[in-house]
Amino acid sequence: MGKATGFLEYERKNAAAVKPKERIRHFNEFHTPLSREEQQKQGARCMECGVPFCQAGVAIKGMTSGCPLNNLIPEWNDLVYHGNWEQAYLRLRKTSNFPEFTCRVCPALCEKACTCGLNGEPVSTKENEMAIIEYAYANGLAKAKPPVNRTDKKIAVVGSGPAGLAAADQLNARGHHVTVYERNDRIGGLLRYGIPNMKLEKHIIDRKLAVMEEEGVTFVTGADVGRSVKAKKLLADYDAVILACGASEPRDISAPGRDAAGIYFAVDFLTSTTKSLLDHDLAEGTFLSAKDKDVIVIGGGDTGNDCVGTCMRHGCRSITQLEMMPKAPDERSESNPWPQWPLVCKTDYGQEEAIAVFGHDPRIYTTTVKEFKKDKNGRLSSAVLVRLAPVKDKKTGRTSMVPEEGTEWEVPCQLVLIAAGFLGSQAYVADAFGVERDARTNVASAQPGGFLTSAEKVFSAGDMHTGQSLVVKAIRQGRDCAREVDAYLMGYSNL
């Protein structure tokens, strides 16, 4: 695949990023794509490695290695190299419903498992994917293709995140009548309000939704199923129901002073900015602002980084990101060989921007908040931080990060954003349909590995089914769930 000696002749080249101090002036995407000719050279770097780990999507030591969608990566890299963009799109579309999303927000599990990355730089698969899908839209290849024949089956999908949309897209293509219910004012779920604009501009979502609507999918917003829309009605009106509401219960932090005004969950903070941006072009007073504030972000993951990047665009006075665990190594350790997921330190766009503006990395490792302090009006004024140390439990053998007495220090703070992940699905939707949940509060399957729940004709997919995960994994869940629903309704499936 690709050019036999391409990985020797061409170096990896990425789309150029706007400089940090310039890009924080706006909320737009900030990379300039390579020319088509240069992108074809990047496709040429895909080597004939024999075993394409990039598309395997298998778990190694509990972490996914390669694409969970099993995208036909060597095939479309080869087609990119040869300039056959239409065929590249057709091969990409066979396994991926939303390459326009994954090419922007996926952490590129494919590249981490790329054979070129064993002794050099991996193939720029993620950017090749973007080049393919954007070519497809620009040249009329990604236009609507409604199903030729329709069945008499009706399916309700509750939740319009990546899992729900993928299930809807698949089942509609099969010819079923699909209606997607979303409790927010706009379709997209996590894609819409959980991911900031600089990673995924919302017109990209709207572009795809317009295609899906033209193909026959019905979208209903402002429909809070389990509250304003009764579960009984959906069960009566539809032949099957898919619950794809995400893992919506944010993990909290327990510390004295938690009730201070000025402490928010990350998802609420990010949502307020995106909603204000879409509604009012960030009119003052319509969003939770970090302007001129000392901010602490609790959590070192992608959502925490998104909070850092958003605060930089608001114009915060200072930004600190707390991570409970020690700093990961800068390079792979011997105990973490390829093609395992690389457990290395990554400096993402938000942290790059903080470094450029404030002159230092915002992250502080092995640290958490011991106490929040309030002023006389009950507003957050400062936070007492404390160092953490690993302590091994003699009975269980498990290691926990425990506060070290005497390591406390106080920092000014008027805004805290909790980005500590999510615990699982919200109870009221599951309870409304009478489905069982497991010990982690995820909706349980009636059979191991399946999507049918304990309730008749009710299925579940995505983060609501597995717990918090990646967009690309949610899309795979939606596709697999759609196949099971199709077989349930028709007795077989050709999805």
Q: Which residues contact 233 (CB under 8 A, 6 or more apart)?
A: none
Is 455 in contact with 432 (CB distance < 8 Å)?
A: no
Amino acid letter, 287: F
Q: Which CATH superfamily is domain 6-138 in?
A: Alpha-helical ferredoxin (1.10.1060.10)
Widest CA span in the chain: 71
3-state secondary structure 262-314: CEEEHHHHHHHHHHHHHHHCCCCCCCCCCCCCEEEEECCCHHHHHHHHHHHHH
Predicted confidence (pLDDT) at residue 197 exceeds the cutoff of 90: yes
Predicted confidence (pLDDT) at residue 26 exceeds the cutoff of 80: yes
Is 175 in contact with 147 (CB distance < 8 Å)?
A: yes
Mapped onto helix, strand or coil, the DSSP state of residue 383 is: strand
Q: For residue 284, what pLDDT is reported?
A: 83
Predicted confidence (pLDDT) at residue 53 exceeds the cutoff of 80: yes
User: In this predicted model, which residue has the larger pLDDT, 148 or 2?
Assistant: 148
Over the stretch 290-320, which tens digit does the pLDDT of each residue have? 999 999 999 999 999 999 999 999 999 999 9
Predicted confidence (pLDDT) at residue 4 exceeds the cutoff of 90: no
Predicted confidence (pLDDT) at residue 348 exceeds the cutoff of 80: yes
Predicted confidence (pLDDT) at residue 1 exceeds the cutoff of 70: no
Q: For residue 395, what pLDDT is reported?
A: 85
Cis previous bond, 33, omega within 30:
no
* 95 token code pair: 């396994």
Mean pLDDT value of segment 112-122: 93
CA distance 355 to 361: 5
Is 470 in contact with 68 (CB distance < 8 Å)?
A: yes
Strand partners, 323: 365
**Which long-range contacts does 486-489 make (Cβ < 8 Å, 24+ apart)?**
486/170, 486/171, 486/174, 486/176, 488/240, 488/452, 488/457, 488/459, 489/151, 489/153, 489/155, 489/176, 489/239, 489/240
What band does 423 get if pLDDT is binned at 50, 70 and 90? confident
* 12 token code pair: 């990896």
* 118 token code pair: 């064993």
What band does 285 get if pLDDT is binned at 50, 70 and 90? confident
Describe the chain by its helix, strand, coil percentages, rounded to 5. 35, 20, 45
Percentage of the chain modeled with pLDDT above 70: 100
Mean pLDDT value of segment 217-228: 97
Provide the residue ranges of all domains of the chain, joining segments of one domain with +: 6-138, 154-248+423-490, 252-420
* Average pLDDT of the chain, as a whole number: 96
CA distance 218 to 209: 10
CA distance 400 to 390: 6
Least confident of 46-50, 142-146, 476-480: 46-50
| DSSP letter for each residue of 240-257 | EEEE-----EEPP---TT
DSSP 229: B
Q: Please identify which residue in the block is written with the tokens 């997921």.
A: 341
Assess whether the region 154-248+423-490 and the region 252-420 belong to the same CATH fold.
yes
CA distance 450 to 446: 7
Least confident of 102-106, 442-446, 484-488: 442-446
Closest CA to 297 of 136, 415, 160: 415
Report domain 154-248+423-490's class: alpha beta
Mean pLDDT value of segment 125-148: 98
Strand partners, 320: 296
**pTM, rounded to two decimals:** 0.96
* CATH number of the 252-420 domain: 3.50.50.60
